């Protein structure tokens, strides 16, 4: 149950808000396309660590109320219990690939827009049930 891909090509080519590429036994690989003015949405993972790699674009990270700029080449590790949000402040898409450990979304799940993600109660509940 291994997975190999060109993550730069997958991230650049993704036009969905969130696409789950791979789910293993202990981690998950997801790509995101956050359009100008959009945000991931404030959240806290009780048991999941999330590492976000910013491939292109400009945004703002908010971790426990502390704001900082994120841009191409940046990485942010969000530890369990950290209230966080990422907002695209630029005029092009904020392209992100992220690793959750353990998985935080239903395997293979695709959310075309942030509204789709917010409306997906099944996926949201999956993430909160992770222990």
Residue 93, domain member (yes or no)? yes
Distance CA 125, CA 123 (A): 5
Distance of CA 46 to the CA centre of its chain: 16
Residue 2, domain member (yes or no)? no
Give the domain CATH number at 50.
2.60.120.10
129 confidence band (pLDDT: 50, 70, 90): confident
- Count up the domains in the chain and report the number: 1
Q: Given this model, what pLDDT does residue 95 score?
A: 98
Its domain, for residue 21, covers 7-129
pLDDT at 71 over 90: yes
Q: Which string of DSSP letters, residue by residue, matches 5-23?
A: --HHHHHHH--SSEEEEEE
Residue 59, domain member (yes or no)? yes
Question: What strands lie across the sheet with 28-34, from one edge to the other?
Answer: 75-78, 49-56, 94-101, 28-34, 18-23, 110-111
Residue 1, domain member (yes or no)? no
Give yes or no for a contact between 90 and 96, defined as CB atoms under 8 angstroms apart. no
pLDDT in tens, 84-111: 999 999 999 999 999 999 999 989 999 9
């Amino acid at each position: 149950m291994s997975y190999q891909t060109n993550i730069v090509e997958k991230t650049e080519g993704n036009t969905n808000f969130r696409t789950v590429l791979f789910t293993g036994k202990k981690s998950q690989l997801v790509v995101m396309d956050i359009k100008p003015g959009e945000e991931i949405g404030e959240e806290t993972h009780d048991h999941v660590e999330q590492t976000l790699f910013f491939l292109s674009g400009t945004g703002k990270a908010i971790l426990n109320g502390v704001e900082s700029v994120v841009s191409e080449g940046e990485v942010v590790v969000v530890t369990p219990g950290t209230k966080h949000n990422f907002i695209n402040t630029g005029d092009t898409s904020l392209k992100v690939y992220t690793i959750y450990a353990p998985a935080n979304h239903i395997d293979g799940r695709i959310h075309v827009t942030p509204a789709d993600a917010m409306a997906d109660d099944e996926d949201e509940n999956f993430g909160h049930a992770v222990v």
